[in-house]
Amino acid sequence: MTLSGISAMFPCYNDAETIGGLVDDVHTALVPLVEDVEVIVVNDGSVDNSRAVLDGLAASRPWLHVIHHEVNRGYGGALISGFSAARHEWIFYTDGDAQYDAREAALLVPLATDKIDVVQGFKLGRGDPLHRKVIGRVYHHVVKVLFQLPGRDTDCDFRLFRRRLIVDKPLESTSGVICVEMMRSFLEQQARFVEAPVHHYARPSGKSQFFRIPALARSSQQLLVLWWKMVVRR
């Protein structure tokens, strides 16, 4: 089966050093496999040179759609903007910090058959320091149990899914817990999953916002609120 089109999307927050390579890599990888490819980048209030880099790229790449948030809306806010702008039946997304190889989006395409709704990546190892690996595994197991999620790597942000899943049931979370909301929502819609291994690398530049104590505290609170709303009150 040849997919008629894919909207490939990246959230970008202070990723000026990496976003250009990701944009070109994903387009080059998908064009041979898909009839129509658009790339969407949401610049979520970056304070580095991301705006200038993206505007420069868009001037010579008609398939690139750049959305600028004047203020930071959070990871979930960036995803919602990008997903809302997507035109095609299938949406692929990963992060703008280059911890995933955007060219591996091509590995997901053959798995997107008529019988599948979500192609979910899982990390072959984790390119982070030990403490982040430990926190990441604890987080994965906690949300998997609390939200009864499928799959071996629920927090792997390397996904290809049918657009109707977020049209029929729009996402609401503006923080990083949107990924948990997304997976739980897909499960409630009885989406059909398949998994694919992908590589994960050390962050080449910048610092993750997620693994700081205040961010972890906020995420824990937001997860509990989401759990109460999506699981307990159902």
Give the pairing type, strands 37-44 and 64-69. Answer: parallel
* Boundaries of every domain in the chain: 6-232
Q: How far is CA 135 from CA 13, 155, 192, 216, 229, in A?
A: 22, 12, 28, 10, 24
Residue 132, pLDDT above cutoff 80: no
Class of domain 6-232: alpha beta
The two three-digit tokens of residue 62, written as one number: 């008609």
% of the chain exceeding 90 in pLDDT: 75
For residue 225, the model assigns a pLDDT of: 92
For the whole prediction, is pTM greater than 0.75? Answer: yes
